Amino acid sequence: MSPSRTSSSPPYTAAELARQIGELLAPAVALQREHQARLAPYRNTAGEVLDAFRAEYDDTRLETALEASDVLDTLVERLHPLVQTAIDPTVPRAFTLALNGPGHDDGEAPHLFVVDATGLDDAHQRLTALPGYHAWVHAHSPLTTHDLDVARAVSGPGVPHTRPYDDLRHQQYPPPSAHREHRPTPPSPLPAPPATPPTGRTATR
């Protein structure tokens, strides 16, 4: 494959930008609703926490807060570059890369992948480094020992609207836990010294 060098992509239209932001927000909205449903049994009709279930509510609230924090980290990572694409054309954005699979000679349409990239060259480099790409190649063309050919006429900026595709953008952003500093488990406390025998007593023989 020798795709042409592309240093930047045309900016998103307002409609495309809104659609992609909506796709990113959808999982967060769904998680918010799930969390509210999990907390609802511990509240009265006015939304106040029932005293009898305060401990259960606090435990559930902590669990949902940790889950929400992870989702928020990922959301920020995805939204920030997406918004930047409106002012900087060199920022990676959704790019569709079409690859000719093993059935290409029999008339099979190219398979579509979506990654965040600045152009065709960049998209191919980023895609071929992702585990999802290698898993697809192994499943559909296990005897292939080289990168699949790119269908340039079908590849380009944006996300397909009329054909199914594999969106591998999430694999480009490690989960929040991967960013967090690993903290070693603190050492176990030293055992307490043996109790000192009571004083003031004389041992008898």
Q: Is residue 197 part of a domain?
A: no
- At 157 the pLDDT is 87
55 and 72 together in one domain = yes
Q: Are residues 99 and 141 in the same domain?
A: yes
Tell me how many domains the chain contains.
2
pLDDT at res. 148: 77
* pTM of the predicted model over 0.85: no
State the pLDDT at residue 62.
93
User: Is 135 a member of any domain?
Assistant: yes
Please check whether residue 7 is in contact with residue 119, taking contact to mean a CB–CB distance below 8 angstroms: yes
Q: What is the pLDDT of residue 186?
A: 39
Predicted confidence at residue 138, as pLDDT, reads: 85
Specify if 203 maps to a domain.
no
User: Does residue 78 sit in the same domain as residue 35?
Assistant: yes
Same domain, 103 and 79: no
Residues 102, 74, single domain; the answer is: no
**Contact present, 174 and 127 (Cβ < 8 Å):** no
Q: What is the CA radius of gyration of the chain?
A: 27
Whose CA is closest to 57, among 44, 70, 46, 71?
44
Three-state secondary structure string covering 31-70: HHHHHHHHHHHHECCCCCECHHHHHHHHHHHHHHHHHHHH
The answer to whether position 53 is within a domain reads yes
Give me the residues of the chain with pLDDT under 70, please: 1-13, 84-87, 89, 142-147, 174-205
**Each residue of 58-103: pLDDT tens digit?**
999 999 998 898 888 878 877 877 776 666 767 788 899 999 887 7
Confirm if 67 and 35 have CB atoms less than 8 A apart: yes
Kindly state whether residue 6 falls inside one of the protein's structural domains. no
Q: At which of 37, 67, 88 does a domain end?
A: 88
Domain containing 45 equals: 11-88
Other beta carbons less than 10 A from residue 188's beta carbon:
6
Do the domain assignments include residue 182?
A: no
User: Is residue 4 included in any domain, yes or no?
Assistant: no
- 143 and 113 assigned to the same domain: yes
Residue labelled with tokens 């004389």: 202
